[in-house]
Structure 1
Amino acid sequence: MLKDEVNKALKVLQEGGIILYPTDTIWGIGCDATNTEAVKKIYALKQREESKSMIVLVDNDNKLQSYIAEVPEIAYQLIEFAEKPMTLVMPGAKNLSPALIAEDGSVGIRVVKHPFCEQLIQRFRKPVVSTSANISGQPSPENFGQVSQDIIDGVDYVVDVDQHSMEKKAPSTIMRLDPNGSFEFIRR
């Protein structure tokens, strides 16, 4: 049941662990976005350089102001009207693990639209890291069946939701937004 899986994943996050979980895009590896030790565990598992930042999920756009110093007004319109999941990279990141913040002070953040993620983040009351469930440099898995055993063995908990779905999912669109409202696509 969804509630049971949320409870199990919540406990792991609260204890500083990392989870493998379904999102509104591809399967992700996640942890408490305010816990640097947990974030470093993900970098180690993915064999990824810490200079390559990971994105953060929140459950609704009201939370953006808690983690971004100055949210451009256009961000709310982009989130409201986006037809597919959109990650916004914005400067002025705050209240997050320094390991998630890029050298220029920016962070990628997405308002997630997925029942499991929404409930988990709402109950956790903190943002959750989301990075593709693969070793750095390998292709991103389009569904759970494509997640490598190394990743499955390397996390503290594998969420038992959507594991049997064969729907092929793609990563989110990524846009960089400046406080003045100008923007550019990083990944479409």
Structure 2
Amino acid sequence: MKKELQNTVAHLKQGNVILYPTDTIWGLGCDPYNQDAVDQIFTIKKREKSKPLIVLVDTLERLRGLVPKIHPHLENILHYNERPLTIIFPSSVRKWSEGITAENGSIAIRIVQNDFCKSIIKATDRPLVSTSANISDDPFPISFDDIHPRIKDAVDYIVSPQLEERRDEVMPSLIARYSTKQKELVFLR
């Protein structure tokens, strides 16, 4: 895993797009501050920029550095939650590449549970873009073998499929919008 981590980090630092296993499904990833790499993901997926990408973080502490405030109730949910949960926050305290935040300034962030993803984020000291490894509106891939060859050919680096975690059920994360007024999560998926 150490050599795979070094290769992955090197590609991200060069501004490349990676194909990698996450705590949910296989994803396309890059440095969220590299506009060329973010644009490449939109091109690969044939996705409209009006549909922002999500970012992964490794810890609650890193998340705290990206959004203005996290209500203590939400911190408890994030700390104890066992299923991957992507939260759409109303705003961010950082400037991101175009395509990371929505027109209204909101941003989707997930604290990743996959050890390899956490290692990538820690080693780069940056959040990581994540979006499903499929063409927009196509079904998401259940495993590496289900990823369309066009996606595999379009990325700059493919993380070893041996790092894919075997799970009984493979699915995208839950997605919820955090309402600052009601101080609650509104589940969207």
TM-score by length of 1: 0.93
- Report how far residue 122 of structure 1 moved: 0.3
Name the amino acid aligned to 1:173: L
1:79, CA displacement in angstroms?
1.1
| 1:142 aligned residue | 142
Between the aligned partners of 2:143 and 2:108, the Cα distance in structure 1 is 22
User: Match for residue 185 of structure 1?
Assistant: 187
How many residues align? The count is 186
One-letter code of the match for 2:67? I
Counterpart code for 1:183:
L
Distance 1:159 1:165, change over 3 A: same
In structure 2, distance between residues paired with 1:40 and 1:92: 21
Structure 1, 75-84 or 116-125: larger mean CA deviation: 75-84
Structure 1 Cα separation of the partners of residues 135 and 102 of structure 2:
20
Shift in CA distance, 75/161, structure 1 to aligned 2, threshold 3 Å: farther
Aligned partners of 1:50, 1:68: CA distance in 2, in Å?
22
Following TM superposition, by how much is the alpha carbon of 1:182 offset from its aligned partner in structure 2, in angstroms?
2.5
Partner residue of 2:97?
97
| Matched ranges for 1:37-76 at <5 A | 37-76=36-75
- The 1:23–1:165 alpha-carbon spacing in structure 2 relative to 1, beyond 3 Å, is closer
When normalised by structure 2's length, the TM-score is 0.93
What secondary structure does 1:98 align onto? coil
Identity over aligned residues, as a percent?
Answer: 38
User: Within 2, Cα distance between the matches of 1:62 and 1:165?
Assistant: 25
Note closer, same or farther for the CA distance 1:122–1:166 as it changes in structure 2 (3 Å cut): closer
The AA in structure 2 aligned to 1:18 is V
Q: Distance in 2 between matches of 1:107 and 1:34?
A: 14
Could you tell me which residue of structure 2 aligns to residue 19 of structure 1?
A: 18
Whole-angstrom CA distance in 1 between matches of 2:150 and 2:129: 19
Distance in 2 separating the partners of 1:164 and 1:172: 16
Counterpart amino acid of 1:64? L
Question: 1:75·1:88 contact (CA, 8 Å) conserved in 2?
Answer: no
> For the residues of structure 2 that align with 1:174 and 1:106, how far apart are their CA atoms?
13
> Counterparts of 2:26 and 2:131 in 1: how far apart (Å)?
8
How far has the Cα of 1:24 moved from its partner? 0.5
Q: Which segment drifts farther, 94-103 or 45-54?
A: 94-103
Give the secondary-structure state (helix, strand or coil) at the position aligned to 1:162. Answer: helix
**1:76-95 equivalence runs, <5 A:** 76-95=75-94
CA–CA separation in structure 1 for the residues paired with 2:125 and 2:48: 28
Q: Is the CA contact 1:143–1:165 (under 8 Å) kept in the aligned structure 2?
A: no
Give distance in 1, aligned partners of 2:4 and 2:134.
Answer: 22
The CA RMSD measured in Å over matched residues stands at 1.5
Distance in 1 of aligned mates of 2:79 and 2:180: 18
